[in-house]
Amino acid sequence: MSVGLKETSSPLLVIQDLEISFPGPEPSVGVRSASLSVAPGTITGLVGESGSGKSLTCRSVNRLIPRPGEITNGHVAFDGRDVLAMSKKELRKFRATEVGMIFQDPFTALNPTLRIGKQLAETLRVNLGLSNAEAKARSIELLEQVDIPEAGKRYSSYPHELSGGMRQRVMIALAVAAGPKLLIADEATTALDVTTQAQILKLLLRLRDETGMAVLFVSHDMGVIAQICDGINVMYGGYVVEAGPADAILRSPQHPYTRALLQSIPSIEQARSGQRRAGIPGRPPERGEKLPGCPFVPRCRYATEPCTSVPMTLESAGPAQLTACPIKRFGTGRATVSSDQRQLAR
Amino acid sequence: MAGYVLRRLGLSLLQLFGLVAVTFLLVHVLPGDPARLLLGPSASPAAVQNLDHQMGLDKPLGAQFTSFFGNSVQGHFGDSVAFGEPVGTLLSQRFAASALLLTYGLLIAFVLGIPLAIWAAVRPNRTADHAIRVFTTAGFAMPTFWLGLMLALIFGLQLHWFPSSGYDSGAGGILRTLTLPALALGLSLLAIVVRTLRGSLRAVLSEEYIEAAWARGLSGPRVIGRHAMRNAIMPTISVLAVNLGFLISGTVVIEQVFQIPGLGTLLVGAVQKRDYQVIQTLTLLAGFTVIVVGFLADIAQPLLDPRVRLRAENG
Amino acid sequence: MAEIALRMFGRPTAGRRRRRRSGLVVAGLVIVGAIALAAIAAPLITSYHPNQVDIAHSLESPSGAHWFGTDDAGRDVFTRVLYGARLDLLVVVLVTYATLVIGVLLGSISSYFGGWPDIIVGRVADSVIAFPFIVLILAVVAALGPGLRSISIGILVVGWALYARLSRSEMLAIKEREFMLATKTLGYSHKRAIFRHAIPNLIRSSIVYSTIDVVGNLLLVAAMSYLGLGQQAPTPDLGAIISGGQPLILNAWWIATLPGVVLVVFGLGVSMIGDGISGDGSK
C-alpha cells in the first residue's frame, strides 16, 4: 500500500522542527530537530538507534515526555489541532480517545495487581462512559478482537498468568479500546521472539484495516519496519535524516545512515554465502554531545569537511522523498563511491 | 496456599514457645531470690521460705517451667503481689485503653502520612518534599514523651482544647482524652510511614504500567489512588508490622505522660514495685501481640498481591 | 526502630549530589559536635554546680545568668542538662558501638558459614528486632535495679540484633562475589576472608545505621530516666529533669521544655549526618 494514494487527504499528525531538551546541572538535547507526518490509516515507521531521539519524538504526540525533559521548540499538530497548546483537561481527553500508546516490555506494561478485565473495563467506563455491564461485555469483545483465546475466562486473569505475547495483545486492546485515530507503538515488538513478533505485526495490520487507525511504529529494527510500514522516517543523533514512502526508501536510500541500516538487515542469502553482515563502525553520539552539521559524519564513509558546517534540514530528494544528507543537498562530498572502497568495507 | 499458611503458623508457634521460654528464664536468671526481693531484706527466712513455697519457687526448674507454660496457655497468670489483684483482672481492666490508644495513633499516622507521602512522591525533590522529610525526621528524632508533654502543654493547658491527662471511655470520652496522646504517638510513627510509602510510590510511579495509565488518559487521582497505591502499600504494611514493637514502646511512655490507666502505666508501676508476675505477663502479652501481628501480616501478603499468592500456592 | 531507619536512609549511593550531601554532613557534625563538646567540657562552660541549691533564685525564667532558667530548688537548669548529658552520651555511644561490633561479628560469621546455626541466628535476631524494646529494657531494669548500668545491659542484650541481620544479608550477597571466591582459590583462611575482605565491605550500612541507633538509644535512656529508672538522684539526668519539670510546666515551662529541645536538635544533627553519608532517598 503506497503512501501516494493517501497523499490527497490532509495528514493526521504533523510534527515540525521538534526540539526536546533536558535542563539541569548537565543540560542536554534529546531531539534537535524532528519533522515527520503521519497520514490517516497508514503505518508510518520511525527508525533509529537507541539514543537517536525516536522515543522522545513519539512521546511528544501525547506529551508523555519523562521529566525533566521538555519541548523547547517546534509544533505538533493532530487533526489540525495544536497538541502543545492543549490544557490539562483537553490533553487527558485527547489521550483517552484519540491517541493510544503501546510499549516495549509486556512484563511491566500491565498493572500486576489488577485483573486484566478490570483494567480494560476501567478505560471503557472512565473514558467512554460505559456502564459496568456494557464495559465488561465490550472488554471481552476487545480481547477476542486481539486474538486472546477463551476471552471470557481470561477476563479474570492476572497479568502474570499470561504469556508475553498475550500480555502484549492485552496492552494493544487497552490502547485501542477507545478507538483512537493513532496508535503509537514504541518498540512494541522488540522484546518478543520472532514468531510472536510476526503475530503482533499481523494484528496491527488487521486493526489498521478494520478500523482505519493509523500507527506510528517506532523501532530500531529496520527489518521489522521494512515489513509493515507504508512510510519510513529515519532518525539519527536527534535529527530526522530521511523520510519517504517505504518502497522508495528501501530501494534508493538517500542518506548514508539509512543505507548502512539497510545493509545491516540479516538475510538468508548473506548467511548462506558466509558474508559478514556490514555493521556500522563507530558509535552513536551521546546525548550531551554537540555535533556541528550532520551528526553521522564520524561514521560516514562519504563525509567530507563541508558536511559539518551545513544546517540539518529535510529537503526534497525525489518524488515524496526527503533527505537531510548534506551531500545530496549541496553536493558537499563524493557523490559516488568506487567499487574497491565498497569491497574494503566488507 | 494452605501449606503456606500452615508453615507460617508452625513458625509462629515456635516463636511463641521461644517467647515463653525466654520470659520464664528472665525471672530465674536474675540475681537474688524473687521472694526475698518482694518481702525486703528485713524479712525472716521463714517468711521468705513460705513465700518461695507459695510461688512454687522451690521446685526443680524443669517442673517450674512446665507449670509456667501450662498456666500461661490457660491464661492463669497468678496474682499480683503489688496490686493485690489477679493479674488477669488487671489486664482486662486496662487493656481497652492501651488498645484504643495504639489504634488511634496508628490511624493518625496513616491519615496524615498517606497524603504527605503522595505529595512528596509526586513532586520529588521540590521544596515540599524536602520540608516533609525534615518535618517527619524531626518527629522521629524527638523523645516521644517530650512530644507528648509539649502537646499537652500547648493544646491542653494553654489552649484548653483537650484535657492534659486522664482517660474516659465512650466515644466522646475517647476523642477528648486520647486525641493528644494518639497525636504524639502518630507523629513519631509518621516518619516511617511517609518515608516508606514515598519510597515505594517513587518506585511504582516510574513503572511502565503507570506510564501506560497516563497514556490512556486516566486522571491523576485514579492513576495514583488506584493503580499506584495498590502496588505501593504492601511494603509499608509489612514495615509497620515489624515496627509494632516501636509502637508499643511509644504507647508505654505516652501512657505515663498522660497518666492513662492502661497496660503501659501498669508495667511501669510493676517495675517500680518489682512485681514479677505482672512484668512477666505483660512481656508475654507484648511478645504474643507482635508474633500474631507478624503472622497476620505474612498471611495478608498473598491476599493482597496476586504474584505472592502464586508463589505461596506453588511453593 | 531499626527497620524504620533503614527504610529511611537506604543504601549508600555515589553521585553528583555529593556536594549537597557533604554540606549536610558538615552541618550535622557541627551540631552534634557542639552538643557533645559542651557536655564533655561541662565544668569549663558553666560555673554552677549541678546540685548547687539557691532558693532565692528558684523558678527564674531563662536569662543571661541562667541560660535555661532555674528549677524549684534554684539549681541552674543548663548546668544540670550539660552534666546529665555527659554520662548519657558517653554511655550511649559506647554501648551502641559495642552492639555494632557484637552484631556485625555474629551476623557475618554465621552467614559466612551458613547452615543451621545461621538460620537460628537469623530467627533469633528477627524475633528480638520485632519485640518492643522498652518492655524488654523495663524487665531488665526491674531485675537489676534502676540506673545506667541496667539500661546498658538491656541495650546490649537487644541492640546487636539489627546489626546482625544487616550483616547477615550483606554477607549473603557478598559471599558469592568474585573477590570472595578468590579468597578461597588463593587458599586464604576463613579468618582472613571474613575480617580482611568481607567485613570492610559490608560494614558501611551498619555504620550508617549506627548514627540513628545512637539517637534511638539516647532517647531510650531519656525515656527511662523520665520514668524514674535512669541515673538516680542526685546525679541529674535529662529525662528526670523533664519529668521533674512536668508538674511545674505552667509556671516554669523551661524546665521541661528546653532539655527536650536539646535532644531534638541533637537528633536532627545526627540524622543529617546519616542522611549525608548514605545519600537520602531522593530519587
Same domain, A113 and A61: no
Same domain, A162 and A272: no
Same domain, B213 and B124: yes
Q: C133, C135, C131, C151: which is closest to C229 by C-alpha?
A: C151
Q: What is residue A271's predicted lDDT score, i.e. its pLDDT?
A: 65
Which of A179, A206, A231 marks a domain boundary?
A179
Any domain includes A8: no
Q: Over chain A, what is the mean pLDDT?
A: 82
Burial of residue B171 (number of CB atoms within 10 Å: 0-12, 13-18, 19+): exposed
Q: What is residue A4's predicted lDDT score, i.e. its pLDDT?
A: 38
The rounded percent of chain A whose pLDDT value lies above 70 is 88
Secondary-structure breakdown of chain A: helix, strand, coil percentages, each rounded to the nearest 5:
40, 20, 40
Q: Which of A36-40, C101-105, C137-141, C271-275 has the lowest mean pLDDT?
A: C271-275
Residue in chain C nearest B236 by alpha carbon: C7
pLDDT digits (tens, 9 = 90+) for A228-280: 899 999 998 888 888 889 888 888 888 888 888 888 777 766 666 666 666 77
Does residue A334 have a pLDDT over 60?
Answer: no
Any domain includes A1: no
**Residue pairs spanning A and B at CB distance below 8 A:** 77
Q: Find the CATH number of the domain harbouring B158.
A: 1.10.3720.10
Same domain, A320 and A336: yes
Q: Which range scores top for mean pLDDT: A83-92, B23-32, B295-304?
A: A83-92
Q: What is residue B81's predicted lDDT score, i.e. its pLDDT?
A: 65
| Contact assessment for residue A30 and residue A69, using Cβ atoms and an 8 Å cutoff | yes
Q: What is residue C30's predicted lDDT score, i.e. its pLDDT?
A: 84
Does residue B229 have a pLDDT over 90?
Answer: no
Find chain A residues with C-beta within 8 A of B215's C-beta.
Answer: 62, 64, 95, 99-101, 175
- Write the ipTM: 0.79
Q: Which of residues 15-74 of C touch B (CB under 8 A)?
A: none
Alpha carbon distance B273, C142 (integer Å)? 8
- How many other CB atoms are found less than 10 A from the CB of residue A97? 17
Burial of residue C47 (number of CB atoms within 10 Å: 0-12, 13-18, 19+): exposed
More confident residue, B167 or B120: B120
**Confidence band, pLDDT 50/70/90 cuts, at residue A337:** very low
* 8 Å CB contact of B153 and C253: yes
Q: Provide the residue range defining the domain that includes B54.
A: 34-64
DSSP secondary structure code for residue B155 in this structure: I
Alpha carbon distance C88, C230 (integer Å)? 10
E strand or H helix that includes residue A234? strand A231-236
β A315-316/A322-323 pair status: antiparallel
Same domain, B55 and B156: no
Residue B252 vs residues B107, B144, B259, B260: alpha-carbon distances, Å:
18, 10, 10, 10
Same domain, A203 and A157: no
Alpha carbon distance A298, A291 (integer Å)? 10
Report helix, strand or coil for C153.
helix
**C130 inside 8 A of chain B by CB:** yes
Same domain, B174 and B208: yes
Q: How far is B233 from chain A (nearest CA, A)?
A: 11
Find chain A residues with C-beta within 8 A of B213's C-beta.
Answer: 111
Alpha carbon distance A79, A97 (integer Å)? 13
DSSP A161-186: GS-HHHHHHHHHHHHHTT--SEEEEE
Half-sphere exposure of B281 (CA within 13 A, CB side): 27
Does residue A303 have a pLDDT over 60?
Answer: yes
Find chain C residues with C-beta within 8 A of B28's C-beta.
Answer: none
Domain count, chain B: 2
Same domain, B49 and B166: no
**Confidence band, pLDDT 50/70/90 cuts, at residue B42:** low
Q: Over chain C, what is the mean pLDDT?
A: 80
Which of A124, A151, A179 marks a domain boundary?
A179
Find chain C residues with C-beta within 8 A of B124's C-beta.
Answer: 282-283
Residue in chain A nearest B223 by alpha carbon: A111
pLDDT digits (tens, 9 = 90+) for B284-311: 888 888 888 888 888 887 777 777 777 6
Domain count, chain A: 2
Same domain, A165 and A206: no
Find chain C residues with C-beta within 8 A of B21's C-beta.
Answer: none
Q: How far is B218 from chain C (nearest CA, A)?
A: 24
Q: Provide the residue range defining the domain that includes A333.
A: 13-98+181-345
Most C-contacting residue of B16, B80, B133, B149 (CB-CB within 10 A), to test interface: B149
Burial of residue A193 (number of CB atoms within 10 Å: 0-12, 13-18, 19+): exposed
Q: How far is B125 from chain C (nearest CA, A)?
A: 6
Same domain, B45 and B183: no
**Confidence band, pLDDT 50/70/90 cuts, at residue A335:** very low
More confident residue, A173 or B25: A173
Any domain includes A127: yes
* Of residues A112, A113, A127, nearest to B216 (C-beta): A127
Which of A153, A179, A205 marks a domain boundary?
A179
Q: What nine digits make up the cell of A31?
A: 531531539
DSSP secondary structure code for residue A36 in this structure: E
Beta bridge partners of A182: A99, A214
Same domain, A69 and A130: no
Does residue B11 have a pLDDT over 70?
Answer: yes
**Confidence band, pLDDT 50/70/90 cuts, at residue C23:** confident
Same domain, A203 and A58: yes
More confident residue, A38 or C72: A38
Any domain includes B253: yes
More confident residue, A327 or B249: B249
Q: How far is A94 from chain B (nearest CA, A)?
A: 7
| Contact assessment for residue A241 and residue A323, using Cβ atoms and an 8 Å cutoff | yes
Q: How far is B80 from chain A (nearest CA, A)?
A: 51
Name the neighbours of A, counting chains with at least 3 Cβ pairs within 8 A.
B
Residue A58 makes CB contacts below 8 A (sequence gap 6+) with A46, A184, A186, A216, A218
Q: What is residue A45's predicted lDDT score, i.e. its pLDDT?
A: 93
* 8 Å CB contact of B230 and A114: yes
Alpha carbon distance A314, A318 (integer Å)? 12
Q: A112, A123, A129: which is closest to A176 by C-alpha?
A: A123
Find the Cα–Cα–Cα–Cα dihedral B35, B41, B45, B47, rounded to 10°. Answer: -60
Any domain includes A272: yes
| Contact assessment for residue C91 and residue C36, using Cβ atoms and an 8 Å cutoff | no
Name the neighbours of B, counting chains with at least 3 Cβ pairs within 8 A.
A, C
**C147 inside 8 A of chain B by CB:** no
Residue A243 makes CB contacts below 8 A (sequence gap 6+) with A35, A36, A231, A232, A233, A234, A249, A314, A321, A322, A323
Residue B6 vs residues B14, B238, B295, B311: alpha-carbon distances, Å:
12, 20, 11, 15
Q: Over chain B, what is the mean pLDDT?
A: 81
More confident residue, A77 or B52: A77
**Confidence band, pLDDT 50/70/90 cuts, at residue C10:** very low
Q: What is residue B41's predicted lDDT score, i.e. its pLDDT?
A: 62
Q: What is residue B313's predicted lDDT score, i.e. its pLDDT?
A: 66
Same domain, A137 and A216: no
